[in-house]
Structure 1
Amino acid sequence: MITVAEILRAKPQAAVYSVTPTTSVLEAIKLMAEKGIGALVVLDKGRLAGIVSERDYARKVVLLERSAADITISEIMTADVLTVGPRDTSQHCMQLMTDRHLRHLPVLAEGELIGLLSIGDLVKTTIAEQASLIQQLEQYIRGE
């Protein structure tokens, strides 16, 4: 079973982008657009304080016709963040994301943020695991 640590090591782009609770929503959306990402972790004095996503922006700013320039991240972020650790399995993470309808999971080791998993990371991992299993089964069937 593949662990979160292994997934993080295999990621081509391991950078985790963040904002603070006092960052304007407009600044955060600009950063997401610039980096081509869908979520940012929210750090307060270096500690995980929340997560903010494009979904938060759409539901809590756009639909309510609020101004992104006048709102801070603390007003729209998800503060009760579900996290995983480096020893958790890809299967565990996929189950959490499916059950809780999440697209991103911050990864903490001893309370420190060490990475961010996306649903895409887990889908790629699952596909690779299945391809490997199929190859092993085919070799077994052929007697190799």
Structure 2
Amino acid sequence: MTAVTDILKSKTDPSVHTIAPTASVLDALRLMAEKGIGALLVTEGEAIVGIVTERDYARKIALLGRTSAATLVRDVMTSSVMFVSSTETSEHCMALMTENRLRHLPVVDAGKLVGLISIGDLVKDIISAQKFVIEQLEHYITGQRG
């Protein structure tokens, strides 16, 4: 079982991108496009007050006939944000994300934001672990030392 802290260390870009609730949705979309990400944590100072995603845009702006320039992030963000600590396992995170239909989980230790993991990060970790097990089994079967 991989700990979240190890997943965070393996990320090529560990940055967590945030936006204020008073920013426009257009600003949020521009930042997500610029960074190549699908979600932003919404913060006021050090406090996480929500999360805004591309899915929020699709469902709460485009489909409702709103404009992204005239709508504030706080009007479309999800305000009840689930989070995990860095000591949680990838399996626990995967279960949490699956049960709650989440794609992103902030990582918070002692009340401080330390990272953000995505479903893609977890899938990458699981594939890596499975590949290692397969290689070890192949070595065992063929009698090779590895």
How would you bin the TM-score normalised by the shorter chain? over 0.9
Aligned partners of 1:130, 1:66: CA distance in 2, in Å?
45
- Per-residue CA distance 1:13-57 (angstroms, 9 max, x = gap): 111110011111110011111111100001111211111000001
| Unaligned segments of structure 1, at least 5 residues | none
Aligned partners of 1:55, 1:44: CA distance in 2, in Å?
22
Cα-Cα RMSD:
0.9
Aligned partners of 1:130, 1:96: CA distance in 2, in Å?
21
Question: Across the two proteins, how many residue pairs are aligned to each other?
Answer: 144
Give the fraction of aligned pairs with identical amino acids, expressed as a percent: 52
Aligned partners of 1:57, 1:80: CA distance in 2, in Å?
17
Aligned partners of 1:74, 1:135: CA distance in 2, in Å?
48
Aligned partners of 1:68, 1:57: CA distance in 2, in Å?
8
Q: What is the CA distance between 1:139 and its match in structure 2?
A: 2.2
Alignment of 1:42-53 (within 5 A): 42-53=42-53
Aligned partners of 2:126, 2:3: CA distance in 1, in Å?
12
**Structure-2 residue corresponding to 1:135:** 135
**Structure-1 residue corresponding to 2:100:** 100
Aligned partners of 1:51, 1:70: CA distance in 2, in Å?
19
| Unaligned segments of structure 2, at least 5 residues | none
Paired AA for residue 99 in structure 1: E
Aligned partners of 2:124, 2:73: CA distance in 1, in Å?
30
Specify the SS of the correspondent of 1:96: helix
